[in-house]
Chain A
């Protein structure tokens, strides 16, 4: 689960990570009030959307306006917020249609001496979290990783023990931070690692992490996402979720216990199991088609879920044909066959449906489909199914 920058900063601030004073505004008037309230000669207006690259991104409705801008008066804050709010911000991560901005963060300005990078993820290969820092802050970290990987320094840590003092000292040395700033940097790093573990983070990124002229360490930006599997023990985080930032069909699928990712093609796919679902997309492409989605109905889907899955698939106007590929294990082919027939009748299909069934109770499942009189194109194997659905969508 992703959250907004201002929410991430609230969480980090509580965990002892220094952030600047800021106020969220949802209108130009609120932005002016916020500027006055901050009482700082300069402030920064920052569009709040889940995607990154906001500073370089521009508004569709105001092509000259970036998603982050420095302002020097309440009037200017109102003017900038007025252009950003209610407009769509296009960044390298949003796609061409952009993301509607509903709120901006008005934050104090600060005196920046150095810009660093700090990130925490779980390193799958090492099976533990890793803290990464770089002297190259404020730029795209992927670029640093590709071009100058020696500028990125890493320390793995135990979740319960947290980052050790010596590890912080090593990282400070690598970043050439010394004196009083080193102690502040160590405290910053340790607080970040603690917060990551406390909230079951899957990614935490501070870019840039700035050192001010006075040697203070401040999280100028903050991005955190959480492990969805751990949300059950963080009830307080649930209210931070912003459904408006998520793809509506994906939210709908999630509510029905389905795993769905929308893609750009025209062949809808309904599959059980993530690996088989990915492979189904692969084989469609191999035979010249384009998948419209990834959809895993999971191991125990019932008629209601399959019906909902069909509704979601057919709700995509690009879909010209649908492929159902089920290898029954826990899921019986009879269950899926009955669900297909029921869904076909209630949803109302307007595109060809290709069905390939294999596995548990497959013969009975095929009989149910045949006996139903429903207009289905059946396929015996994976290749045949892909060929038939690509032909049907053409």
Chain B
């Protein structure tokens, strides 16, 4: 078991003929992901890395049986690419592209949430089930099949955390980068629910950062619904306040969003919080040792 993706997942790449799309398709193939094709409007009939390229996602799904997609199209076209994947019946949509306008995501978000599909990202490293399926830009070799489910709002900081759990011999089931944008398709809670239900996942590592209230909401959810050991880290304790937050932004969250408030909320929910980014793997170990 694992969550969302595994060795059976059939993946296409939207934007496969672009530089990033082609590069990462190659690396996902090398990791063992079942890449089955790609989509670039106007480039149908060509091939990339030996995979067939289609003009539309609908055609790609029809001819390859794809049920997941990895999106690398430019930011201006990402909302359209997500909606196209959704329309074609893709179940797991992973949008790697960064720089998508926020109001584009507002328009996409409701449609995604009304469907049965899962959108990961945008502006994220992707999702990987260790040893089975990598959909994204993370370096494959730092992962090791194991016991920890990883959920993160960051990219490279996730690699750091994964590396630490691999070095401690804990390994991972599935690792998901939610994405760093204000509006992303999947929340901590969506995945906590799935990891709680997954037989192989023995512990969960959650990596958050300052801004918004997603970590506080996750803490409340964990207290109520998650019986597996959870460890967490919050990045940005020393970030200057108000640098990227407007006045009205602070109002809507009722003054929430600082690292201290998030850490307090997590600790109150019985979560093992790593004080240093070098301590994330060890925090998972401590959470497992003190298992409820």
CB-CB under 8 A from B170, the residues of chain A are none
Which listed residue (A132, A284, A329, A381) contacts B248, Cβ 8 A?
Answer: A132
A273-B157 contact given A145-B255, A286-B275, CB 8 Å threshold: yes
Measured CB to CB, the nearest residue on chain B to A286 is B276
How many B residues face the partner with a CB closer than 8 A? 61
Query: Could you tell me if B102 and A229 are in contact, using CB atoms closer than 8 angstroms?
Result: yes
When the two chains form their complex, are residues A281 and B159 in contact, meaning their CB atoms are under 8 A apart? no
| A256 located at the interface, meaning its Cβ lies under 8 Å from any Cβ of chain B in the complex | no
Q: Do A329 and B139 form a contact, CB below 8 Å, given A227-B102, A263-B240?
A: yes
Contact A382 B248 (CB under 8 A): no
* B29 lies within 8 A of chain A by Cβ: no
A26 within 8 A of B: no
Q: Which residue of A lies closest to B163 (CB)?
A: A358
The stretch among A27-35, A57-65, A115-123 that forms the contact with chain B is: A115-123
The answer to whether the Cβ of A278 comes within 8 Å of any Cβ in the partner chain is yes
Over the window 117-152 of chain B, the binary record of Cβ atoms lying under 8 Å from chain A Cβ atoms (1 yes, 0 no) is 000000001000000000001110010000000001
Shortest distance between the CB of A142 and any CB in chain B (Å):
6
CA–CA, A88 and B133, complex, Å: 58
Select A129's contact among B106, B139, B180, B275, beta carbons within 8 Å: B106
With A and B bound together, what is the CA distance between A276 and B278 in angstroms? 11
- B41 located at the interface, meaning its Cβ lies under 8 Å from any Cβ of chain A in the complex: no
Taken residue by residue from 159 to 190, chain B's Cβ proximity to chain A (1 for < 8 Å, 0 otherwise) reads as 11001000000000000000010110000000
- In the bound assembly, the distance between CA atoms of A123 and B105 in angstroms comes to 12
Report chain A residues within 8 Å CB of B155: 273-276, 299, 329
- On whether the beta carbons of B252 and A275 are closer than 8 Å, the reply is no
Give every chain A residue within 8 A of B278 (Cβ-Cβ): 283, 381-383, 386
Residue numbers in A under 8 Å from B114 (CB-CB): none
Question: Is B110 in contact with A127, judged by CB distance below 8 angstroms?
Answer: yes
Q: Is the CB of B276 within 8 A of A282?
A: yes
State which residues 233-263 of B face A: CB under 8 Å: 233, 235-240, 243, 246-255
A203 touches B249 (CB 8 A): yes
Query: Which of B106, B142, B275 sits near A122, CB closer than 8 Å?
Result: B106
Interface size in chain A (residues, C-beta < 8 A): 64
Q: How far is the CA of A13 from the CA of B255 in the complex (A)?
A: 32
Q: Are B237 and A230 in contact (CB under 8 A)?
A: no
Chain A 175-210 residues near chain B, CB threshold 8 A: 197, 200, 202-203, 205
B25 interfacial by beta-carbon distance below 8 Å: no
Contacting A at CB under 8 A, from B76-90, are 76
- Tell me if A's interface is mostly helix, strand, loop or mixed: mixed
Q: Do A273 and B238 touch (CB < 8 A)?
A: no
Q: Which residue of A lies closest to B154 (CB)?
A: A275
Which of A142, A233, A278, A299 contacts B76 (CB under 8 A)? A233
Contact, CB under 8 Å: A279 / B160 = yes
- Shortest CB-to-CB span from B259 to chain A, Å, is 8
Tell me if A328 is interfacial: C-beta within 8 Å of chain B.
yes
Q: Are B106 and A132 in contact (CB under 8 A)?
A: no
> What residues make up the interface of B, taking CB atoms closer than 8 Å to A?
75-76, 99-107, 109-110, 125, 137-139, 142, 152-160, 163, 180, 182-183, 207, 209-214, 217, 233, 235-240, 243, 246-255, 275-278
Sorted nearest first, the 9 A-B pairs with minimum C-beta distance are A275-B154, A273-B156, A275-B157, A230-B101, A203-B246, A279-B277, A119-B248, A382-B278, A276-B156
Selected A-B contacts with CB under 8 Å, 17 pairs? A122-B182, A124-B212, A132-B248, A132-B252, A142-B251, A225-B246, A230-B102, A232-B75, A275-B155, A279-B277, A281-B236, A281-B238, A282-B237, A283-B277, A327-B159, A382-B278, A386-B278
